[in-house]
Amino acid sequence: GAGSSRPPGAIIVTWQREAAGVSGRREGSRAGGGQDGPSRRTQGGGAAAEGAMKLSSEALPRRRSSETVLQTISRTFSAPELNKQHGAETGNYSHTGLFARAEELLAKRIIDGDPLAYFLQGQLYFEEGWYEEALTQFEKIKETDFQALYQLGVMYYDGLGTKEDPEKGVEYMKIIINSNSPKARHLKYAAAYNLGRSYFEGCGVKHSDKEAERLWLIAADHGNPKASVKAQSTLGMFYSTSNPKDLKKAFFWHSEACGNGSLESQGILGVMYLYGQGIHQNTKAALECLKEAAERGNVYAQGHLVEYYYKRKFYTKAAAFARRIAENDNIDMLAKITDCLPVYIAKGVAMATFYFARCLQLGLGIQQDQAAAKNYYSRACLLDPDVTSDLELAANHGRI
Amino acid (one-letter) located at 67: E
Q: What is the predicted pLDDT for the residue at 9?
A: 29
Do 277 and 271 contact (CB within 8 A), yes or no?
A: yes
Q: Quick: pLDDT tens for 235-257.
A: 999 999 888 899 999 999 999 99
Burial class of residue 287 (count of CB atoms within 10 Å of its CB; 0-12, 13-18, 19+): middle
259 and 244 in contact (C-beta within 8 Å)?
A: no
What are the E-state strand segments in 33-145? none
Going by C-alpha positions, the residue among 146, 173, 144 that lies closest to residue 158 is 173
Per residue in 194-211, pLDDT tens? 999 999 999 999 999 999
Q: Which residues of 243-263 are buried (b: 16+ CB within 10 A; e: fewer)?
A: eebbbebbbbbbbbbbebebb
CA distances from 114 to 108, 119, 317 (A): 9, 10, 60
Which amino acid belongs to residue 219?
A: A
24, 342 Cβ separation under 8 angstroms: no
String of DSSP letters for 63-84: SSTT--HHHHHHHHS-HHHHHT
Say which range, 28-42, 109-123, 167-181, 298-312, has the weakest mean pLDDT: 28-42
328-346 pLDDT tens trace: 999 999 999 999 999 999 9
Residues whose CB falls within 8 Å of the CB of residue 187, separated by 6 or more in sequence, listed in order: 60, 61, 146, 147, 150, 176, 224
